[in-house]
Amino acid sequence: MTRGKFITLEGPEGAGKSTQAAMLISKLEARGLEVLYSREPGGTPMGEAVRGILQYNTAGEAPCPESEVLLFEASRAQLVRHVLLPALERGAWVVCDRFADSTTAYQGFGRGFPVETIEQLNHFAIGPAVPDMTLILDVNVTLGLQRCAKRQHGGKAQYDRIESEALDFHERVRQGYLALARLNPTRYRVIDAMRPADLVAADLWQTVSSAFFP
């Protein structure tokens, strides 16, 4: 059985990753492929519990920055072993809404942990589940946060723990993604996500189809 392809969607808050994941999956399924959607943090019972701790302090306290890194990695390790690798090995394609590059961007570039340390932890957590393609949906941080606010609370901003970080944190995250893309243009593709969703989807499909269905 040929291993399926693994595509990850990344980007700052409100870039439109979930919206684009749904549109991409429809197009892949229309080609007769089995496609699995997953998201991070989450995607397993343990990962969803960790998501609550990370976003909404459901353990009753906020994780310290070091715990935050390790909780993201723990959620990821579980998702990889219990869901992603079995799917890829049976030939399914996987579209994941955030993955290891989020930890590099948010905890590395955003929080300021050494990027090499984060990449070692990512490597330990993901093992052989290296994405075949990572689509970075690039959006201006102010526009992205405005989109999140509208979606969640009818225009009234009320953000989760990480969305509530200062604008300069989110700007470092955005610039971190763009730096990753410059270092490895083979795996990463940057898509301008500041346009209407259907234009972003068309660009994204052109990128995916020209790589995998030439």
Scanning 81-196, the segments in alpha helix (DSSP H) are: 85-89, 100-102, 115-126, 141-153, 167-183
CB of 87 within 8 A of CB of 118?
Answer: no
Least distance CB 200 / ligand T5A (angstroms): 5
Verify binding: residue 14, ligand T5A, rule CB under 6 A.
yes
Verify binding: residue 163, ligand T5A, rule CB under 6 A.
yes
Q: Map residue 127 onto helix, strand or coil.
A: coil
- 4 DSSP assignment: P
The shares of helix, strand and coil residues in the chain, as percent rounded to the nearest 5, are: 55, 10, 30
Candidate residues 196, 210, 213, 214; the one interacting with ligand T5A per rule CB under 6 A: 196
Of 148 and 208, CB closest to ligand T5A: 148
Burial (Cβ within 10 Å: 0-12, 13-18, ≥19) of residue 72: buried
Q: Map residue 69 onto helix, strand or coil.
A: helix
Of 85 and 118, CB closest to ligand T5A: 118
Contacts with ligand T5A, 89-128, as mask; x by CB under 6 A? --------xx---xx--xx---------------------
Least distance CB 50 / ligand T5A (angstroms): 10
Residue nearest to ligand T5A (CB): 16
Least distance CB 59 / ligand T5A (angstroms): 16
Contacts with ligand T5A in 41-70 (CB under 6 A)? 41
Verify binding: residue 155, ligand T5A, rule CB under 6 A.
no
d(CA 31, CA 196): 25
C-alpha 173 chain-centroid distance: 12
The residues that touch ligand T5A, with contacts defined as CB under 6 A, are 13-19, 39-41, 72, 97-98, 102-103, 106-107, 147-148, 150-151, 162-163, 193, 196-197, 200
